[in-house]
Chain A
Amino acid sequence: MDDRLALTLVTGFLGSGKTTLIRRFVETEEGGDTGIIVNEFGEEGVDHHLLVHAAEQVELLSGGCLCCARRNDVAEAMYRLVQMSRTGKAFSRAILETSGLADPAPIVATLNRDPWLRAHVRLASIVAVVDAVSILRTLETESEAVRQISIADTVVIAKSDMRNACETADIERRLRSISPDLRILDAQHAGFSLSDVLGGHGTPALIQGEGEAAPLPSAHSGEVSSFTLKIADRLDWPGFTIWLSALLHAHGDKILRVKGLLKTSSSQTPLAIHGVQHVMHPPTHLPEGNEDRQSFLVFITKAVEQEAIVRSLETFMRCKVSL
């Protein structure tokens, strides 16, 4: 059993409704024991006894890539929350609300790189909140919004009840053109559950249960494209880790997300892998009974040619890849 503190990362533009969503959750009985981290210069509005402010402290690592920048503010705030939980203010989960323009990738990188944080904190979900009135316009003009959607595993559509809200079907179609297998929820829907979204129950690995057999359709949204590669052969795991780690080293700023189900030389059952830009999460092993699942890799990339990745994978791994 994983007893690390479950962390949900909530992102979304200023005015998207993310603060309201968090406030509604912490006012419920279940949500009352949630530790919250907000950016010091973020929106006002969450008044909570377990609130920690994070000052803007970004440390660029050698290499200078901003998506790998260590977020000292986030690390320090998480330390404080975990220490708080040990001094009597017990709480069940944490929510980190990013500021409106923040790229979530450095936060994911910080959580992954820091051994202490890895041992004490589990990233449960990356949730992007979008405003039904303005999101379609925002996605056309703000590349940061596209990046937030690419990295998220869940999107909550807020304010769909407003008179000038766009049609939910149009919003879903646009979101799926960025990330085909996104979980999309409407906050106004009768069945919407705050606990399901913010309760810390999920994992970002996103290989969703037994029913997911069909590969995802390719999609394009401006410079961002997503595609699925089907792999017939069992992959040599050491070789594959070299290929993928080198690919993310060279192009991690443009590979927004990679995930997949792989039959490998190191395991009887397939491995589920998932990464956000330069950061790969430790793979999980599917239970017995999944031995015949089709291997596939999903890439969401910005300005990286699908053909180049296919050619490289086939040549390096000596395997057959189909689309």
Chain B
Amino acid sequence: MCEVCAIFGAGEHWSDFGRMRNDRYPFEDILHYRSERRRRLSLVNRILARFDLSCQDWDGETIAVHHVSGRFKLAPTLNDLWTVAEELAGRKIIDPLTPEFSAAGGPFRAEAA
């Protein structure tokens, strides 16, 4: 965490390295990370909605996955998110090779690089 602005970093998961980082001036990297994270979670919610699940970002550091019953679990990374979603759903639900998953995809709002 930056001690001046209290903003957390730009993520360490492989999916957070889509943009070339500027180690000297990281602020734009952090803004880009948070913007992509918002878009990513919005798309994840489209996928999870049919399973009575939703997810929320906890300050850019972890993801809270909620079931309509009120149960929720935390998922630190995108990888953990799928496991946690299936634990809350009580069954295997995440499979991109199924039509249900694929249909929840684009169109995407492409950002300028």
- A234 vs B101: C-alpha distance when bound (angstroms): 21
Knowing A250-B94, A316-B96, say if A241 contacts B82 (CB, 8 Å): no
Cβ of A249 and Cβ of B106 under 8 Å apart? no
Number of residue pairs across A and B with beta carbons under 8 Å?
122
Cβ of B101 and Cβ of A312 under 8 Å apart? yes
Cβ of A318 and Cβ of B40 under 8 Å apart? no
Cβ of A265 and Cβ of B14 under 8 Å apart? no
What chain A residues lie within 8 Å of B70 (beta carbons)? none
In chain A between 242 and 288, which residues have their CB closer than 8 angstroms to a CB of chain B?
242-243, 245-251, 264-269, 271, 273, 275, 278, 280-283, 285
Q: Is A136 on the interface with B (CB-CB < 8 A)? A: no
Smallest distance from the beta carbon of B22 to chain A beta carbons, Å? 12
B83 to chain A: closest residue by CB? A63
Cβ of A238 and Cβ of B102 under 8 Å apart? no
- A125 vs B12: C-alpha distance when bound (angstroms): 22
Knowing A243-B105, A311-B102, A316-B105, say if A249 contacts B83 (CB, 8 Å): yes
Smallest distance from the beta carbon of B112 to chain A beta carbons, Å? 8
What chain A residues lie within 8 Å of B111 (beta carbons)? 265-266
Smallest distance from the beta carbon of B24 to chain A beta carbons, Å? 15
Q: Is A236 on the interface with B (CB-CB < 8 A)? A: yes
What chain A residues lie within 8 Å of B12 (beta carbons)? 115, 118
Contact indicator per residue, chain B 78-103, by CB within 8 Å of chain A (1) or not (0): 11001100000000101111010111
**Count of B residues near A, CB < 8 Å?**
38
Cβ of B102 and Cβ of A316 under 8 Å apart? yes
**Count of A residues near B, CB < 8 Å?**
43
What chain A residues lie within 8 Å of B32 (beta carbons)? 266
- A242 vs B108: C-alpha distance when bound (angstroms): 12
Contact among B20, B97, B106 for A251, CB-based, below 8 A: B97
The CB with the most chain A CB atoms within 10 A, among B92, B99, B107, B113, is that of B113
Q: Is A317 on the interface with B (CB-CB < 8 A)? A: yes
B14 to chain A: closest residue by CB? A280
Cβ of B106 and Cβ of A318 under 8 Å apart? yes
Q: Is A239 on the interface with B (CB-CB < 8 A)? A: yes
What chain A residues lie within 8 Å of B57 (beta carbons)? none
Cβ of A234 and Cβ of B110 under 8 Å apart? yes
Cβ of A236 and Cβ of B106 under 8 Å apart? yes
Cβ of B83 and Cβ of A246 under 8 Å apart? no
Q: Is B50 on the interface with A (CB-CB < 8 A)? A: no
Cβ of B108 and Cβ of A246 under 8 Å apart? no
Contact among A242, A247, A249, A311 for B43, CB-based, below 8 A: A242
- A302 vs B40: C-alpha distance when bound (angstroms): 29
Contact indicator per residue, chain B 26-43, by CB within 8 Å of chain A (1) or not (0): 000000100011011001
What chain A residues lie within 8 Å of B15 (beta carbons)? 237-238, 241, 245, 280
The CB with the most chain B CB atoms within 10 A, among A239, A242, A249, A266, is that of A242
Contact indicator per residue, chain B 4-22, by CB within 8 Å of chain A (1) or not (0): 0000000010110111100
Knowing A63-B83, A238-B40, A311-B102, say if A283 contacts B14 (CB, 8 Å): yes
The 8 closest A-B pairs by CB, nearest first: A316-B105, A266-B18, A241-B15, A236-B108, A318-B106, A315-B102, A237-B18, A249-B82
14 A-B pairs besides A238-B40, A247-B96 with CB distance below 8 A are A236-B106, A239-B106, A243-B105, A245-B79, A250-B96, A251-B95, A264-B113, A266-B19, A266-B32, A267-B20, A269-B20, A275-B14, A278-B79, A318-B105
- Provide a sorted-by-A list of 13 A–B residue pairs whose CB atoms are within 8 angstroms: A237-B15, A241-B40, A242-B47, A243-B96, A243-B105, A245-B78, A249-B79, A251-B95, A265-B18, A267-B113, A283-B14, A283-B17, A317-B108
